[in-house]
Amino acid sequence: MQSKKINLQKERALDYGQLLTELLRAKEELQIALNNFSYLTEKNAVDVCIFQMQTAQSQYDNILKRIKKMSV
């Protein structure tokens, strides 16, 4: 019984670590998109960049919600 509990705790810690890694990646992608947006002038490129920012922000928000849910 004790080993099952330890395995579950290890699994949760691993999942939490993976989520933190994903969160940092999403934050990086958002920052890259924001930086690119500052230098764009062509309308189509601006539209693509806005889509990338929205996608990265959505991913970041979803991962953050999952992390908060695990912490409770």
User: What is the number of residues in the chain?
Assistant: 72
The rounded Cα 44 to chain-centroid distance in angstroms is 26
Question: What's the mean pLDDT in 8-29?
Answer: 82
CB 23 within 8 A of CB 61: no
Question: What does the DSSP 8-state code read for residue 40?
Answer: -
Residue pLDDT, tens place only, 19-44:
999 999 999 999 998 998 888 888 88
The type of residue at 42 is E
Q: Is the pLDDT assigned to residue 14 strictly greater than 60?
A: yes
